[in-house]
Structure 1
């Protein structure tokens, strides 16, 4: 597989690796290991940046404040050679540029502080009964069929409905929310097309108009939901602007389901393929938590994150210039044998060592407590209700690197 997919020059550490080759995106881990065997740092030609594969490096770079998600707070476009976005893409980038995910302090600090109050563990724990009820309702719909496609029938509805209800937008618009979200998220993947860009712009405009309507409604009629909380939120006398509020809601809706859908699908696949006894894996709260963490480590839903270099510096023998970008390969870091013994093996009983699936540092995933709760609640119910659950066909991943999730997961019982 490597000879066809991967071309690595050990002298220059330059790698040619086509992320759209099915031999890679169906199972990227052998390629990562072939690279790691030669070098912990490589230049990915198709991306045009230096990438890191080892857990210690990825973990350190997530926390190193000399690297960040934006660059224009410390440099001009001319200074770092960053071209203006094409005018046709302006509506997308106008929204995207206000996302806390794309900001650095002090803007990031202000936005995250205002939003974070809804995602602390004690608040999220209140959602457990709703997730339990929803899990049972979904299984009730397909249990009698003896078969299901779990991505559409189970993994997708739970996080979509939960985040919609948390925000205060109607869950019966879930199909629209999913459609807009998928089209916008396509802007972040490798090798996007003109058609995908145009679809993302249209989705951004529709999504924004939809949310502005609900925000205006909540201004006059507050409810017990996150939109109302954000409207009222004030931290040190500073509020969200309406544009920031719209962007924050879009970010939470997009990030609040996309990763959890695929983490759940990938996790169920890993459990079924492992041959391990689900009863043992979900026997008590401690083992449930350990199983979910191992699912996240073993086959994470997000494999790649980029950072700008915020100042000229040397790192791992690389001379990096302000305005360059580096890639943090989460999928490789989570399989680093220097950190995880028998890293390619699915083993929920392994010692509890932190993985980097949720990132790290100031951009650590704000929704991590919710994602963990959704998986820790829904997956044990699935395996308890369907004790004879088995794969019914080969699970295939989507052509959507650096996102890593199944196109479908056909099961039977």
Structure 2
């Protein structure tokens, strides 16, 4: 058994081809990248004892498995691609009632049908048309703290902006955003390592409340449809008969939860990255649209918001190197580690907006590639440009603090200081 070198999490050690590493250890979730570098030195895949499954960190293999149709999100219980949740605990019945119809836990043909409807509604709205509204919302948030000379960015900017944008896109009143955030946080906690029964009970209660809210919104859109995604889904239900009410509820819950969670983290991670690694003038990197787009892609690689995506083998699969993954075996794809793979990127721990190399795997891949990726990129580019244009002398005022949630890698606090600026009239 080999122990981790100095500077790595104390819990990290190797036992042959098995990694021992506590994902809840602060030394890891605050900065997982030294541990990822150690993984790359060891192997592209290995057993992770605490996760109790095979883990893959190599970029090429992660990208391949995201697209490999011999793997899925679930082992379908029926030919329609739905999971079997017949044996779920009673205290999680509401949570899994939503999960059962969620795109995230479906395989074809049901997944293909629902995703096609969402993409049709989502893409047809032409995400770029949202740019002026995103900019106006971002400026409005900056107006709230520009005159103070300080802000805690996660609560003051990174959290409210994405939830307001996704609420408007879906067609939910902005006054509901605080409640939507509460439900989302309680449900997303289900995906963290080492969840407790208390977390499960709260997630189930949130799922029931969220479902009731969405049902009310659906009823309202049936009476008064608008130019929004929920109205488009209602039309698909009533005119085409392609979407059930349960599927509509699950789709809206998923889009709300996923539509802001990762973007909150990426805005925080992106601002921190720019202040620590963007040079003397981060504003310059974001001013030009093309250059800002490259900077955003590098932020998504350098400090991604999602670090874990799980897949399950739908049949026996032999991986490169001769390892066989048995049908039903789960595999942990380490997206954050893959984005720092030295076999894919020169000097992977250096932030370089001009770098070449393969696309980062931050949004996943294959049929489960994030439908909101274009919107997330747009929000990040506009949010950071507005922030650095309005407050060009931004600086970190206290050590940043990450959340105890390794798979969703994001900041809990980012305290910033700046010279007070005039508030726009």
The TM-score range, normalised by the shorter chain, is over 0.9
Cα separation, 2, equivalents of 1:216 and 1:146 = 45
Aligned twin of 2:314: 310
Comparing 334-343 and 271-280, the one that deviates more:
271-280
> Contact 1:167–1:227 (CA<8 Å) still a contact in 2?
yes
Cα separation, 2, equivalents of 1:29 and 1:60 = 22
Within the candidate set 41, 60, 63, 1:59 is matched to: 63
- Give unmatched runs, 5+ long, in structure 2: 1-6, 419-425
Q: CA RMSD in A?
A: 1.9
Aligned twin of 2:137: 134
Cα separation, 1, equivalents of 2:78 and 2:300 = 34
> Contact 1:40–1:52 (CA<8 Å) still a contact in 2?
yes
3-state secondary structure, aligned to 1:327: strand
Aligned twin of 2:337: 332
1:305-362 CA-partner distances (Å, limit 9, x unpaired):
1101000121132121111100100010000111111100111121263100000011
Give the total of aligned pairs: 407
Describe how 1:6-405 pairs up with structure 2 within 5 A.
Answer: 6-9=12-15, 11=16, 13-73=17-77, 84-120=87-123, 123-233=126-236, 237-276=240-279, 277-316=281-320, 317-351=322-356, 353-405=358-410
Q: Which runs of 4+ in 1 moved over 3 A?
A: 80-83, 234-238
Cα separation, 2, equivalents of 1:392 and 1:5 = 30
TM-score by length of 2: 0.92
Comparing 281-290 and 142-151, the one that deviates more:
281-290
> Contact 2:154–2:413 (CA<8 Å) still a contact in 1?
yes
1:50-75 CA-partner distances (Å, limit 9, x unpaired):
01001000000000000001103469
The 1:373–1:204 alpha-carbon spacing in structure 2 relative to 1, beyond 3 Å, is: same
Shift of 1:267: 0.6
1:358-413 CA-partner distances (Å, limit 9, x unpaired):
00011110000110110111111100110100001000100012110000110001
3-state secondary structure, aligned to 2:324: strand
> Contact 1:5–1:23 (CA<8 Å) still a contact in 2?
no
The 1:242–1:7 alpha-carbon spacing in structure 2 relative to 1, beyond 3 Å, is: same
The 1:399–1:109 alpha-carbon spacing in structure 2 relative to 1, beyond 3 Å, is: same
Shift of 1:234: 6.3
Cα separation, 2, equivalents of 1:189 and 1:151 = 20
Shift of 1:102: 1.1
1:263-313 CA-partner distances (Å, limit 9, x unpaired):
010010011011512133113111100011111100000000110100012
3-state secondary structure, aligned to 2:126: helix
- Give unmatched runs, 5+ long, in structure 1: none
Cα separation, 2, equivalents of 1:167 and 1:352 = 35
TM-score by length of 1: 0.95
